[in-house]
Amino acid sequence: MKVLVAVKRVVDYAVKIRVKPDKSGVETQNVKMSMNPFCEIALEEALRIKEAGLASEVVAVSMGSAQCVDTLRTGLAMGADRGIHVEATGALYPLTVAKVLKALVEVEKPRLIIMGKQAIDDDCNQTGQMVAGLLGWPQGTFASKVLLDREKQLATVEREVDGGLETLCLDLPAVITTDLRLNQPRYATLPNIMKAKSKVIKKYTPQELNVEIKSDLEVIEVTEPPKRKAGVIVSSVDELIDKLKNEAHVI
């Protein structure tokens, strides 16, 4: 069984982002970029499935500019068998990404797609659900535990939902999106980083996959959120209670 993992290159989670002065977006030039944390978790889960003997091959896919190859190399160094880069310029929205993934599914024939529940740049939380919808596959979103039964071709997914956890049973092929608590991703070791250099990354363009890049959305502006007014440091519990009671009127 082949597992497809979609990974996205985003501004590193620890970077304090800056909004461009012309309000056209967020500064991404000369900013540290990394693999989206949820995608790392997705890849780690796929690798664990392979190591448990439940999958034969893990294929990492990324779409976007030429630098996405760096992100794919990171994935290959973690242990993915090979990579696919769909090179595209400009903004790719989840619907387009989902269509590209659907086209790749037709080429690669995986039985499972694992991806992060959201990218920490656009915070959309849509792509997994959309690709599942396009393929007509069942979806297990916000997964905190995944159990595969190869005999019965089932995936049991524990999901993080409001108010607790929900367990679903999915027929394979299926799409799973990962929540933070699914696993702890491994670090790539130096020998594996070296090995990753010789692994294959196949290139496609959206045109080759017959996917039209269009957008239903136009970004009008990107602004900084309103600043909170400076607070005060109080010196005692009594002062704090007094302020909450008589100044803020919240208790």
* Closer residue to another protein in complex, CB, 208/221: 221
Tokens of 142: 């916000």
User: Binding another protein by CB under 8 A: which of 64, 75, 94, 206?
Assistant: 94
132 near another protein (CB under 8 A): yes
H-run or E-run covering 37: helix 37-51
93 near another protein (CB under 8 A): yes
| 3-state SS class at 207 | coil
**Tokens 């596959």, residue located:** 137
* Closer residue to another protein in complex, CB, 198/236: 236
174 near another protein (CB under 8 A): yes
Q: How far lies 107's CA from each of 81, 84, 130, 139, 204, in Å?
A: 16, 11, 18, 20, 11
131 near another protein (CB under 8 A): yes
H-run or E-run covering 140: strand 139-149
Q: How far lies 116's CA from each of 68, 202, 216, 240, in Å?
A: 16, 22, 23, 42
User: Binding another protein by CB under 8 A: which of 48, 144, 209, 213?
Assistant: 144
User: Binding another protein by CB under 8 A: which of 89, 190, 200, 237?
Assistant: 237
Total number of residues binding another protein (CB under 8 A)? 82
208 near another protein (CB under 8 A): no
248 near another protein (CB under 8 A): yes
Amino acid 239 reads E
Q: Which stretch binds another protein (CB under 8 A): 50-58, 71-79, 80-88, 171-179?
A: 171-179
- List beta partners, residue 95: none
- Nearest distance, CB of residue 200 and another protein, angstroms: 30
Report the site for another protein in 40-69 (rule: CB under 8 A): none
* Closer residue to another protein in complex, CB, 199/243: 243
H-run or E-run covering 84: strand 82-87
- Nearest distance, CB of residue 92 and another protein, angstroms: 11
170 near another protein (CB under 8 A): yes
129 near another protein (CB under 8 A): yes
152 near another protein (CB under 8 A): no
Tokens of 250: 């919240």
* Closer residue to another protein in complex, CB, 32/197: 32
- Computed on alpha carbons and rounded to an integer, the radius of gyration of the chain in Å comes to 21
Instruction: Say what the alpha-carbon torsion angle 35, 39, 45, 46 is, to the nearest 10 degrees.
Output: -90
183 near another protein (CB under 8 A): no
8 near another protein (CB under 8 A): no
User: 35: exposed, middle or buried (C-beta count within 10 Å: 0-12, 13-18, 19+)?
Assistant: buried
